[in-house]
Structure 1
Amino acid sequence: MQVVSGFEDTKPFDVLHPAEQSAPFVFNSPHSGRHYPLPFLQSSRLDALAIRRSEDAFVDELFAGVVELGAPLLCARFPRAYLDVNREPYELDPKMYEDRLPPYANSRSIRVAGGLGTIARVVGEAQEIYRTRLPVREALDRIETIYKPYHQTLRRLLARTHVAFGHAVLIDCHSMPSTIRSSDNGPRPDFILGDRYGTSCARSLIDQATDILRGMGYTVARNKPYAGGFITEHYGRPAKGLHALQVEINRSLYMDEARTDRSSGFAELSRDMRRFCEELVAGTDADLAPDALAAE
């Protein structure tokens, strides 16, 4: 964790660009931010460790090698507990605020009901974040100054990639608690790949990603319980040559979840993620273009 005064003088996110983009891929790590504004921490009832329970810690580092492979990486600095860009822009819980929400807010989504809207009410196992209700203006300010610029940047990266290559592939990078199972009695998967049940990317992309990971000895599940969030659903348009695939990594592979710290497995998984991305980038090309998909 790094404590900052706010995001007026601190960049809320980074784009790591290759010297030359040589792959039709954009990688995104929206939940790995670990810069916590001091006023936010002071408004929270949680300690410095508990507030990080929803953070996809170090995922940006696991995928940092993609830049050398010729693909850009967009990564958040702001924490998910502060603002979640993998939501609609105005999924807001009216119970969190002192005053009335604007009429365009979506306060009835399942994610809001679970306390995990654009401005989260809880982290981890339903741990309440805030001591008191917030002014609506504070939520709207976070959306205007961070959420909207983040998505504008992501759209720009994908548009440039699509123009340059004729198609674009978004890999949305996340981590999941080690307790997650893909079914009631199933094993705990090392990875869960989400393509919104076949709607956000070509079947060949998720098939290839699955084969690479299984070939490396990992267990892989698809879509359950993570099919992909707002980003995967919103940007995945396979018929237009825009493909989005969500990758969830079991945190026990690389970190001590109790301490939010890297474990002895971090270096090995970093190497494996570099290899996974290298093989994924090398194995997908013109078959993801709109014309190729239409001919199938």
Structure 2
Amino acid sequence: MALPDFLQPRPDTPVEVRLPTAAALPLVCDSPHSGTAYPADFGHAVPLALLRRGEDTHIHTLWGGAPAHGATLIAANFPRTYIDPNRAETDLDAGLLDGPWPQPLQPGPKTRLGFGLVWSRLNAATPMYQRALSVAEVQGRIANCWRPYHAALQQAIDASVRDFGAVWHLNLHSMPQDAYQRLGIASERPLADFVLGDRDGTTCAPGFVQLVADTLRGFGYSVAVNDPYKGVELIGRIGQPQLNRHSLQIEIRRPVYMDEATREPNAGFAPLRGHLDELMGVVAAHVRAALAYPA
């Protein structure tokens, strides 16, 4: 049986890097969770249709116009349920393993929900595996996927800082309609179309967050900040606004652009892609102005 398009063999690389096609700016976009190439050694116990609920499906495509605005766009090819590049290397549930990990582990709050470096659960009722994972296979996932992704992203960040003395980083995601439920949060507020995360004002300049929020609201979308997603490993490590290194997480509510059950784009996909391209133009103009670059 032929594989669906999203499972067709890909080049033997875990990370796709799209370089600027216009004059380069210190603008780096990354999509760590949109990968759809499921490794043969995954060994999961979850049906693929359910497993795909962990994907930020199509996010790298929605933001595909970023390089035309001078940005570098980085995307994972592997799925986050296999190993999550938006987690620290030590953010691992020792209960998943068949033996002791050779270094101390520091599992975070998302790991306790099952969504750590290597997922232990798809949701509260659905374990990912019916087996223990060997230490060696998890180390292989880190070496073959996690570290190459971080190396590619760090190279782009370092190049921006070296060449421009600054960087603006957009960490790109999507979120399920039942995000509050998955996170164990009781909320009377409906989930916004967009959630911007800056770890409570610590990872980028407030004016940049406001610019992105105002632009999105101008397109007619609802926008929340740090509710319910504040940002995790990547923006926490990259964002240092006091050093002119700004990092912002952007989550898009999935039903805005796709059918969550089939993962297929819906009628909102094309308009959203156009709006995101306009947003990238606004962000690029902001970066040029901040650097005193001509338009």
TM, length-normalised to structure 1: 0.90
Please name the residue that 1:49 is paired with.
49
Structure 2: gaps of 5 or more residues: none
State the distance in 2 between where 1:189 and 1:243 align: 23
Amino acid at match of 1:15: V
Per-residue deviation, 1:131: 2.0
After TM superposition, list the pairs within 5 Å mapping 1:1-296 onto structure 2: 2-3=6-7, 10-40=12-42, 43-106=43-106, 108-124=107-123, 126-180=125-179, 184-285=187-288, 287=290
Deviations 1:37-90 (A, max 9, x none): 1221xx221111111111100000000000111111000000000010100012
Amino acid at match of 1:153: A
Amino acid at match of 1:101: W
Q: Does the 8 Å CA contact 1:18/1:67 hold for their aligned counterparts? A: yes
Amino acid at match of 1:79: P
State the distance in 2 between where 1:59 and 1:76 align: 11
State the distance in 2 between where 1:34 and 1:151 align: 18
CA RMSD of aligned residues (A): 2.0
Q: Does the 8 Å CA contact 2:25/2:287 hold for their aligned counterparts? A: no
State the distance in 2 between where 1:243 and 1:186 align: 28
Per-residue deviation, 1:286: 5.3
State the distance in 2 between where 1:200 and 1:158 align: 14
State the distance in 1 between where 2:291 and 2:251 align: 22
State the distance in 2 between where 1:116 and 1:242 align: 27
Counterpart secondary structure, 1:27: strand
TM, length-normalised to structure 2: 0.90
Counterpart secondary structure, 1:134: coil
State the distance in 2 between where 1:173 and 1:157 align: 15
State the distance in 2 between where 1:183 and 1:222 align: 17
Q: Does the 8 Å CA contact 1:202/1:288 hold for their aligned counterparts? A: no
> Structure 1 284/235 Cα, relative in aligned 2: closer, same or farther at 3 Å?
same
Per-residue deviation, 1:133: 0.7
Structure 1 runs of 4+ with >4 Å offset? none
Per-residue deviation, 1:125: 5.1
Amino acid at match of 1:267: A
Counterpart secondary structure, 1:49: helix
Structure 1: gaps of 5 or more residues: 290-296
Counterpart secondary structure, 2:248: strand
State the distance in 1 between where 2:136 and 2:166 align: 39
Per-residue deviation, 1:155: 1.0
State the distance in 2 between where 1:262 and 1:125 align: 27
Q: Does the 8 Å CA contact 2:83/2:141 hold for their aligned counterparts? A: yes
